[in-house]
Structure 1
Amino acid sequence: MEKKKVLLLYILYLVSTIILLFGLGYIKNWDNKNIIVGLMFFFCYVLSSKFKYTLLILLISFSILSFYFPTGIIYGKPTEAILGSLLQTNKLEAIGYLMVIKYKILVMILFICIQILIYLTAKNSKYKFNYFYFLIFLFLYVTSLFGISINHHRLNEDAFLKNLITSSKIIHRQKIEQRMSLGDSSNIKIESIIDNNDDTQVRVVIIGEAVRKDYMSVYGYPHTTTPFLNSAKGIFIDGLVSAGPNTQLSLTRTLFRADPSENIIHWGINIVSLANKAGYKTYWISNQGANGWGDDVFFNLSKLATQNKFLKTGDFESGNNDDEEMLPIFKNIINSNANNKVIFIHMMGSHEPVCSRVGNYKPSFKIYNEAGCYVATIEKLDLFIKKITEILKDKKYKLMYFSDHGLSVEKTTIFHDNDLYEEYQVPLFYLDSESKEQIHIKKKLSGLNLLDIYSTFINIKTNVTDHKYSFQLASELADNIDPIIYWEKYKHLSTIQKRQPPVIDIETNITKEILELKNNYTFTDQCISYVDYVKIAFPANPQIYKIVGWAASTKEKEPVNGIVGSFIVNKSKVIFIKGDAESRSGVREHFNMPKDTNSNYGIVSFLDKKYINDNKENIYVGYRDKSNHYYICSKPYN
């Protein structure tokens, strides 16, 4: 029996070691030296089994480390970019992140269960305390997590906690640098005005959110998503590559001067300070948060403007304000006396959750899925820009628009995917009240050069920007064939290989099989169920409803087997709506089931409004078995 226990422990040690290397990001950036790290983890387990307290140390510390697993599996070992994105991104981007990692959480749960099993299996082993073994354990434990320096030679240079601490220090230093130098524009020198005859009264910079250019018909999307922009007079550049895959990483290297060679950001050189230095009145209008996890730097930037106005007084999700609410504020600024002004507008745009961005807007098509919501937000953006130009119609104006990054867009989910090529493909265009034609320029440009384009947009040459970058001269620029981006570190766009074409069939109904049943159904108490809610699935399409519930077998308390779905039971007929199983860990915990068991208790169905009535009691969930018989689960919880 003792031999079997030892064999089981060694198998668990090996499995845990592999999961540690996988979850902490060593596999993602594999180096043969990491074999030594794996051996250190393994022998930490072996030696820990000799002492109860060392077993407890590993149980607690390794279980805590496992919370990094979902991130490590996707992105690798911690760097300031990864840690900064986790700590500084806004809360809605965090929701998008959770959508990406949801299945990786199972690895974390499995690992913690294994650690508990190791502790329970080994804790009763009887060994005499041995200082030599304990010191070896301590050396391996510290070296595996923190690394160690001997005669100025480091062992395990990329130790997980060492990287974590180093990255945290870098982020802390950046915050101090930002706070100290954001308002210091002493390094900016205005060398000259580019065009002395430029009598533009208003310049508008619109910072878009989460917009991919391949969903805009002005850039070739087959559905007419940008009817106004399709014929607008100006310059449309096809080829801008965002500096980073999320708001924080992109805009800190777009709105500020970034130096990739030194990996530093010159906070004092930014879009507001440049305009202030040139003598413009500056205004910042935002539909994003005035404070919060990742909004601080942009809120602080806005305070450099002559005036700033945030629709939300709290953080990013402290309200669900529509971008159109910025229009009256914009109009008031336009009607004020000063003409020589630069107005910055920071939109919510197409930020996830995308369907909530549609609001009361009525798109030109019916929305049946998440991709449809995304396309609707592009239509809504086009209308927003049209309304901006209508407010400006009596002024001589110049307007530039760009987006911070794109998103991964699928029919059922929309989220951030930092390894997706299209995440970096964003629109850049320029409208001018004096323009007579629409010009398209296919030119690859780095988002790191957007500050240069902006400086010529506000008609100045400076010592900190390159005046050869301008909308008017864009066709003469050499193609930046492989632009630099920032994710984890500065690297070239060519390192991003994953591709995703835009969703074209946006009007494909997400509803599945709907059948009227005859006699091939049974009300059964062999399974129990609960209907959580029945509501409109997409705000812009009140015809599509969503039914969410769960079901479990009565005896085993496990998810039901078969084709799951919802049932609408009326006196005269029973209708089955085919659905999808969904993970519901809360239901599993309710039944006290082990964490490593199947948690697909959830059942989600979509259907047309005509099938819905106000009586929730008539709606059930259940399943269809292999013989095409339908089972309607009882509802003791309703």
Structure 2
Amino acid sequence: MQIPLLAPSTKHNLCSSLKTALRIVLFFLLLWFSFFQSPLLPLHHITQLRLLRSFVFLWGCLFLQESLTSRKLSLESLPLLLLLLWLVPYSYVFSWIPDYFQEDVGSYWIFPSLLYTTVWLLQQLLPQAGRLQLPLGVLCALPLWGEITSAMAYLFYFVHYGKPMDEIILMSIIATTPLEAYNYLTATFSQPLLLTILLLLAGSFLALVHSLAFPAAQKSLSVSSRKKQLAVLALVLYFTGSYTFSVFPLDRLTHLYQKGGPMRAFLELKKNLPRNTQKLQLLSQEQLISQKVPGTIILVIGESATRDAMSAFAPTSFDSTPWERTMKQNPNFFFYPNSYANFPNTIMAVTQALTSANQYNRVPLKKAVDLMSLAKKAGYTTYWLSTQEAGVVSDAGITVISQQADYRENFKGTDEVLLSALQEVPGGQNNFIVLHLTGSHFRYD
């Protein structure tokens, strides 16, 4: 019985693509050993498997590229450029993180080969789409452009702040309003530089659309070849879509909503607050503080303020807080020079400050009660007055807590507008008022 052998062309393609894959892997290994601050060995066992899988993926992708085209195998300029623009930023960041390769990061070396093949196949197929060539080019360019800009943003954040972007930072970005984003960008970058960045982003997107839909070397495909490439593209897109959720930013986004993630905790807080408050047992009506000392309590949340810049707390080059510094001598005022935020993130810090959940009592948010509900149960009419825009993340902890107030309003303008709002609060009742300030988020111009 004769055993069928591989066709000569198939065997040649396998060997040629294997050599190319080995050269690419060797190149990156030399780079890693030369520049990485993090030791490469010992590798996490899952990372070992995924690195091996990434090599198989790369080999398979290069083999498909050579098998589906009559041209000699070469690393196409656009697919290779996008691969490098995606891989280099993450590799640089990972190189500075101690023991990073002892964690499961193998997906970051599987994804590039899928990205390379996806772009190459799109360049082969989109020119055959007729009138849909440009619309499909725009549609396909959007996720690819998003992946590259996300990699650049990840690199910028690490270089600027000295730490990788995690899910908590991503949550802060999602919760940022358009006005806050504008203020941050104009405070971080000069206007000419910001305009240059925007032009580069727009130009890169248009260039990507043009390179995908109108590649320099267009070639008419036979119906048979087109069907094969469409089938391969569908398979590659399936794997690409799956691994997209294993790399930044979608991996961080999914972590937010996983069990134990902050957004899941906020959802549980919102769901359970009424029940938790109902279970809360207070003193008798006569013993409530609102009955013993009637009046108005005002809690001011001076967001983004640091006591190191306040003359009432620390030596400063000028008297930045003259009223507070004077009141520090008043025995009826209490200053806390050694208090600290319990989380390095606004949403989490304020949420834990205004609920019974914190790192000391280990009470999870789903079992917590909030200060607004507690004040209402203690006999106060509650108000939440803020100069911050309503958060775009409707289930974030601060939003959930503010929604428990009897009266809630967000004002436009500077923090001084809250003084007028305070005049509207009736004085002949027990009030608990939270003033949520914008504070010193940005430089004063």
TM-score, normalised relative to structure 1: 0.42
Counterpart selection for 1:346 from 399, 411, 436? 436
Separation in 1, partners of 2:216, 2:279:
64
Separation in 2, partners of 1:291, 1:68:
26
Separation in 2, partners of 1:330, 1:157:
47
Separation in 1, partners of 2:184, 2:420:
34
| 1:328 to 1:64, Cα distance in 2 relative to 1, 3 A | closer
| 1:114 to 1:334, Cα distance in 2 relative to 1, 3 A | closer
* 2:357 and 2:368 in contact (8 A); partners too: no
* 1:272 and 1:301 in contact (8 A); partners too: yes
What is the aligned partner in structure 2 of residue 212 from structure 1?
306
Name the SS for the 1:84 alignment partner: helix
Name the SS for the 2:337 alignment partner: strand
Separation in 2, partners of 1:324, 1:342:
19
What is the aligned partner in structure 1 of residue 251 from structure 2?
163
- Return the offset for 1:241: 3.6
Give the CA RMSD over aligned residues: 4.6
What is the aligned partner in structure 1 of residue 141 from structure 2?
59
- Which amino acid is the alignment partner of residue 44 of structure 1? T
| 1:132 to 1:187, Cα distance in 2 relative to 1, 3 A | farther
What is the aligned partner in structure 2 of residue 439 from structure 1?
none
Separation in 2, partners of 1:263, 1:133:
55
Counterpart selection for 1:335 from 421, 427, 441? 427
How many percent of aligned residue pairs carry the same amino acid? Answer: 18
What is the aligned partner in structure 1 of residue 171 from structure 2?
84
Separation in 1, partners of 2:228, 2:300:
66
* 1:209 and 1:350 in contact (8 A); partners too: yes
Name the SS for the 1:166 alignment partner: helix
- Which amino acid is the alignment partner of residue 438 of structure 2? M
Asked if 1:229 is matched to 2:311, the reply is no
Separation in 2, partners of 1:333, 1:117:
61
Separation in 2, partners of 1:59, 1:309:
43
| 1:206 to 1:12, Cα distance in 2 relative to 1, 3 A | same
Counterpart selection for 2:118 from 27, 44, 48? 44
Name the SS for the 2:353 alignment partner: coil
User: Cα deviation per residue 1:480-512 (whole Å; 9 max; x = unaligned)?
Assistant: xxxxxxxxxxxxxxxxxxxxxxxxxxxxxxxxx
| 1:334 to 1:327, Cα distance in 2 relative to 1, 3 A | farther
- Return the offset for 1:281: 0.9
* 2:145 and 2:208 in contact (8 A); partners too: no
Query: Where does 1:420-439 land on structure 2 (aligned, <5 Å)?
Result: none
Asked if 1:301 is matched to 2:401, the reply is yes
User: Cα deviation per residue 1:581-623 (whole Å; 9 max; x = unaligned)?
Assistant: xxxxxxxxxxxxxxxxxxxxxxxxxxxxxxxxxxxxxxxxxxx
What is the aligned partner in structure 2 of residue 364 from structure 1?
none
Counterpart selection for 1:254 from 353, 362, 365? 353
* 2:357 and 2:363 in contact (8 A); partners too: yes
Name the SS for the 1:121 alignment partner: coil
Stretches of structure 2 lacking an aligned partner (at least 5 in a row): 1-70, 96-100, 130-135, 159-163
Counterpart selection for 1:310 from 395, 406, 409? 409
Query: Where does 1:120-135 land on structure 2 (aligned, <5 Å)?
Result: 120-122=214-216, 124-128=218-222, 129=225, 133-135=229-231
Stretches of structure 1 lacking an aligned partner (at least 5 in a row): 148-155, 313-318, 353-369, 374-537, 539-638
Name the SS for the 2:218 alignment partner: coil
Greater fraction helix: 2
Asked if 1:145 is matched to 2:241, the reply is yes
* 1:79 and 1:164 in contact (8 A); partners too: yes
Greater fraction strand: 1
Query: Where does 1:84-483 land on structure 2 (aligned, <5 Å)?
Result: 84-99=171-186, 100=188, 102=194, 105=198, 108-109=201-202, 111-112=204-205, 113-114=207-208, 116-122=210-216, 124-128=218-222, 129=225, 133-147=229-243, 158-160=246-248, 163=251, 166=254, 176-184=267-275, 185-190=277-282, 202-220=296-314, 221-232=316-327, 233=330, 234-243=333-342, 247-258=346-357, 265-266=365-366, 269-277=369-377, 279-288=378-387, 291=390, 293-294=392-393, 298=398, 301-305=401-405, 307-308=406-407, 310=409, 312=411, 319-320=412-413, 322-327=414-419, 329-330=421-422, 333=425, 335-338=427-430, 341-352=431-442, 370=443, 373=444
What is the aligned partner in structure 2 of residue 485 from structure 1?
none
Query: Quick check: 186-195 or 32-41, which moved more?
Result: 186-195
What is the aligned partner in structure 2 of residue 560 from structure 1?
none
- Which amino acid is the alignment partner of residue 321 of structure 2? T
| 1:96 to 1:66, Cα distance in 2 relative to 1, 3 A | farther
Separation in 2, partners of 1:164, 1:131:
36
| 1:327 to 1:63, Cα distance in 2 relative to 1, 3 A | closer
User: Cα deviation per residue 1:519-577 (whole Å; 9 max; x = unaligned)?
Assistant: xxxxxxxxxxxxxxxxxxx5xxxxxxxxxxxxxxxxxxxxxxxxxxxxxxxxxxxxxxx
TM-score, normalised relative to structure 2: 0.58
- Which amino acid is the alignment partner of residue 116 of structure 1? H
| 1:13 to 1:200, Cα distance in 2 relative to 1, 3 A | same
What is the aligned partner in structure 2 of residue 405 from structure 1?
none
* 1:49 and 1:122 in contact (8 A); partners too: no
